[in-house]
Structure 1
Amino acid sequence: MALQDLPVMLGGFKLMITEAPSVKLKELEDGSMTPVVDRVSGEEQYVVTLFAKPLPVDGRRAGKGEEIRVNLPGDPGEGFEEGMYVELVNAVVNTYEIPDRNNPRVIASAGLWFKAAGLKPAARPSVVPNAA
């Protein structure tokens, strides 16, 4: 069972654009690429690649971070360039499972993917206050 649209709180992370938003593409059977279009709105979907680095917490070192790709329902607008710090608007995470071809009861692959309603510029916070 895949869980869908679980709200995500990313306030403890710096999110830096590593690849500017671009139209999301999918490969067709003939090998050509075509834009992914939202079934409801008919708009082309976008994707942005972010480096998510945990902020240091008082008394602890920050982790190394990880690159994530985030699906967006449309063009987030001008000014979102590589190196810019952003916040995600209404971020959610979804899970998926792909069964094994030979044995459908076995999960061959599983993972998660992020999506958000949009992007907004963010200040660069330096430390998360200790909640204790």
Structure 2
Amino acid sequence: MRNIPVNLQGYKLMVTESPALKMRENDNGVEEVVTDRSGVQHFVVSLFAKKRPQEGQFAEKGEEIKVTLTADPGDGFEEGTYVQLIDATVSPWQTERNGRYASGLAYRAAGLTPQI
């Protein structure tokens, strides 16, 4: 399954690395901008996600996630800014290289909006 809708309303999301063009190294070792099939450039942002504590509970530890944005988020999303994701999805991934396996979750969103 891919692009599973995800609800992160119960989490505080703080920008830890401002949005930037998503880059990938090609087979020749040259970095190139990541685009979709239509040629639209993708962006990436690092967020610190921490669950909002419920009354009478301790706040759990958070974790940093990287989110691919399918549109330019615009200005105003510097480090420390709290945001919400627009149309967030998650996809599991797995890869094998030289007998070593790695797996994880890939987050994607249509954009960012400031947390109110």
When normalised by structure 2's length, the TM-score is 0.92
Task: Pick one of 67, 74, 78 that aligns with 1:77.
Answer: 74
**1:22 has 2:20 as partner:** yes
Structure 1 counterpart SS, 2:113: strand
**Structure 2 counterpart of 1:13, one-letter code:** Y
| More deviation, 63-72/107-116 | 107-116
Task: Pick one of 59, 82, 92 that aligns with 2:89.
Answer: 92
**1:68 has 2:43 as partner:** no
Task: Pick one of 27, 34, 49 that aligns with 2:32.
Answer: 34
Task: Pick one of 105, 122, 129 that aligns with 2:115.
Answer: 122
CA distance in 2, matches of 1:98, 1:43: 26
Structure that is richer in strand per residue: 2
Deviations, residues 15-66 of structure 1 (Å, cap 9, x unaligned): 00000000000012222211001112x1210000000011111111111100
Structure 2 counterpart SS, 1:9: coil
When normalised by structure 1's length, the TM-score is 0.82
**Structure 2 counterpart of 1:110, one-letter code:** S
Shift of 1:101: 5.4
Unaligned residue ranges in structure 2 (runs of 5+)? none
CA distance in 2, matches of 1:108, 1:78: 38
**1:113 has 2:106 as partner:** yes
Unaligned residue ranges in structure 1 (runs of 5+)? 124-132
CA distance in 1, matches of 2:108, 2:76: 20
**Structure 2 counterpart of 1:30, one-letter code:** N
Structure 1 counterpart SS, 2:48: strand
CA distance in 1, matches of 2:66, 2:24: 15
